[in-house]
Amino acid sequence: MKLEDIKEVAKKYDIKVGKLKKAELVRTVQVAELNDPCFETGKAAECGQAECLWREDCK
């Protein structure tokens, strides 16, 4: 997902994007969604969130 698309999702949660990097922004959105902030933390294989919006970009 492109950064601009992520920023649009963040706006829905009233998250101030500022100078957050992509991974930081996605994890902030994950917390707002009441999910584990696991994006790019190496837990993709074990997170159990197969339907995660960020799954395609996760490592």
Q: What is the pLDDT of residues 16-50, one digit of tens each?
A: 999 999 999 999 999 999 988 999 998 888 888 88
Question: Rounded CA gap, 7 and 16, in Å?
Answer: 9
pLDDT of residue 45: 82
**Torsion angle in degrees (nearest 10) through CA of 25, 20, 59, 48:** -20
pLDDT of residue 39: 94
Considering the entire predicted model, what is its pTM? 0.88
Total domains in the chain come to 1
pLDDT of residue 8: 95
Integer Rg of the chain from CA: 11
Structure tokens at 14: 């009233």
Domain span holding position 9: 3-57
Q: What is the mean predicted confidence (pLDDT) over 4-26?
A: 95
Question: Rounded CA gap, 54 and 19, in Å?
Answer: 19
Instruction: Give the type of residue at 30.
Output: Q
